[in-house]
Chains A and B, each alone.
Chain A
Amino acid sequence: MTSFTSETNVSYDNDRPRALRSWKVEDLTLLLGTAFSALALNWIFYTALTTATGATGFVVTWTLLFYTFYYLANRIELGPQAASDRLWTAFTWSAALLLLAPLITILLYVIVKGLPGLTKDFFTQDLSATGTLDTGGGASAAIVGTLEQVAIAVFISVPLGVLTAVYLNEVRGKFRRPVRMFVDAMSGIPSIVAGLFIYAVWIVAFGHGFSGFAASLSLSILMLPTICRTSEEVLRLVPGGLREGSLALGATRWKTVRQVVLPTAASGLVTAVVLGVARAVGETAPLIMTAFGSTALNRNPFSGAQDSLPLFVYRLITNPFPAQQQRAWTGALVLVIVVLILFTAARWLGARASGQKR
């Protein structure tokens, strides 16, 4: 007993958090050592023993060898239990890396290809006076077009989508089932069909001509189901007790929705909007027959053909001249940056909306 007490005193007299899962140097050595020996053996395999070639095969066999070595080494050091635990950890890490690899590769590729064309002019000039062989010019027409079209689409589809979600989850009206069915069916509409629909109705039948607004309409069709269904899920997470509490204070149903349910769900609703925007911002097909595309800057989304970043990229990358292809890559890079900025802003807004009072 006494020895126990004295031991406790010796080991724990520092009042600070104890490291519970520390990585020891040996663990790291084991990991790197097995990875390296797997690499070495694999290399001998590929160069000396067989005539196999190809990077993909090399990585696959290396990975498999690594798993084997890592498991065996851990088994010798720590026993079968810990070894299989380590092996599964390695598997999950590999899966995560595998998932990240395409994303990172795409990002790096777009950055490398697009960066040389990323100048100040790219944001301030259009292509109206630039020939196919000229350098210079920029994507201002496309950037302005994309921002305006997506903004108008958000303006149309967010109120509609959220109100429909409120109808589905808060009002619980008679037409819940058919409405939900329509929304589900809408989410299956191919984007080119949404574009064709707006083309046939708004542009041909109503005779409005190409415009950024027509593009916004077709994008709204695509965003609406995403925003609506996500919002509905988010509203469903608001506890019923809050609604009862509000009603018991003498609130009407509408006030309950506006002042209690929607603010409580704010961060989730921001996510819903982000998912909707994500669906729309990179769409190309429906824009071909609605915004049509243009080399000249058109600030007015309500009249005349307008450009957009996806259209810009699509038009120029199919062009054989290097200057045009360079612009296409830079356009793609700007599109990625725009998406990243939108997402970061939305996340930040969402965190603020919910984190502030929690």
Chain B
Amino acid sequence: MTSLNTDINELVDPAPAGGLTAKDVSCWFGERKVLERVSLEMRPRTVTALIGPSGCGKSTFLRTLNRMHELIPGAQLGGQVLLDGEDIYNPEVRATETRRRIGMVFQKPNPFPAMSIRENVLSGLKLSGLKADDPDSIVEKALTRAGLWKEVSDRLDSAGGALSGGQQQRLCIARSLAVEPEVLLMDEPCSALDPTSTLRIEDTIAEISDRVTVVIVTHNMQQAQRVSQQCAFFLAAENKPGHIVEAGPTSTIFTRPSDPRTEDYVNGRFG
């Protein structure tokens, strides 16, 4: 039913850049299956939140969306992930190009310690072999969108590692934004941060979501409600692979969920 809706949407708006669709994605670590037939529509320029208890495969799913999953030895996957209708696992598509188009921010801030703030922001360009015509304006733009420009504009040449945790995370967001990705995946980007920094990051997400599609994993129900328009609830039964119980508009998931397990989870009764 949702798929019909989006088909119509796509007809109306012919090239919505950054739409991501997972179709029947299953994942294995060695013999162990941890995700079963997950299908999810992540609309362009929308924030989609993935919620669910620990160990139900949210991170694993997120990592299949930009081909980070396959970097783990023994990891396998089935199904399709479509970026604007093209399968990113098509053998003709280079994984590095896919990862440039679909950026990722990790749970633990990981600025490159051997680089300055400025170099960190430009690192994506250098690493993916892109040429920067006007590096200064790229640095300013990326840092401004990540909400960090005012704080660091006078010390761009100092170490990225000397910033506070929240600033480091925003630096990592700026670093991802500098290569102009169509999608930004965020795996619990605030779980290592204090409440003030968390709010700053949420502002940043709201700020960037008019240009990029955001998929965010969070354990914080209030955060999911504050930042996302769409929401998917993951669950894994004991020793069973994880799957999506329910997905839809965030307001529906939190106020009128159709599955009782969703209702229990969003109201904090388990997980």
Contact = CB atoms under 8 A, between A and B. Distances in A.
B123 A248 contact: no
B114 A357 contact: yes
B104 interface: yes
Contact of B99 (A248, A264, A358): A248
Interface string A65-82: 000000000000000000
5 contacts: A241-B106, A241-B110, A247-B71, A248-B106, A249-B175
A172 B159 CA distance: 30
Contacts of A255: 127, 129
Contacts of A242: 110, 112-113
A248 B103 contact: yes
B179 interface: yes
A263 interface: yes
Interface string A228-252: 0000000000010110111111111
Given A241-B108, A245-B112, A259-B123, A250 B99 contact: yes
B113 A248 contact: no
A241 B104 CA distance: 12
Contacts of A263: 112, 114-115
A248 B68 contact: yes
The 4 A-B pairs at the shortest CB distance, nearest first, are namely: A250-B100, A250-B128, A251-B127, A263-B114
Contacts of B71: 244, 247
A263 to B, nearest CB: 4
B135 interface: no
Contacts of A251: 96, 127-128
A239 B110 CA distance: 9
Interface of B: 66, 68, 71, 73, 96-101, 103-104, 106, 108, 110, 112-116, 123-124, 126-129, 159-162, 172, 175-176, 179
A154 B114 CA distance: 24
Nearest to B113: A264
B132 to A, nearest CB: 14
B113 A249 contact: no
B147 to A, nearest CB: 19
Interface residues of A, number: 23
Contact of A358 (B73, B108, B127, B162): B162
Interface SS of A by simple majority: helix
Contacts of A248: 66, 68, 99, 103-104, 106, 176
**Which residue, of B98, B128, B176, has the highest number of chain A Cβ atoms within 10 A?**
B128
**Which residue, of A242, A266, A354, has the highest number of chain B Cβ atoms within 10 A?**
A242
A244 B106 CA distance: 9
A260 interface: yes
A249 B161 contact: no
Given A244-B68, A247-B68, A357 B96 contact: no
B115 A245 contact: no
B128 to A, nearest CB: 4
B168 to A, nearest CB: 11
A198 B242 CA distance: 61
A354 B98 CA distance: 32
Given A255-B129, A264-B114, A358-B159, 7 more contacts: A245-B106, A249-B179, A250-B101, A251-B96, A251-B128, A252-B96, A357-B116
Nearest to A256: B127
Contacts of B116: 357
A241 B68 CA distance: 12
B112 A264 contact: yes
A130 to B, nearest CB: 51
Nearest to A172: B73
Contact of B127 (A241, A249, A264, A354): A249
A259 B101 CA distance: 20
A201 B106 CA distance: 53
Interface string A246-277: 11111110011001100110100000000000
**Which residue, of A239, A247, A248, A252, has the highest number of chain B Cβ atoms within 10 A?**
A248
Contacts of A172: 73
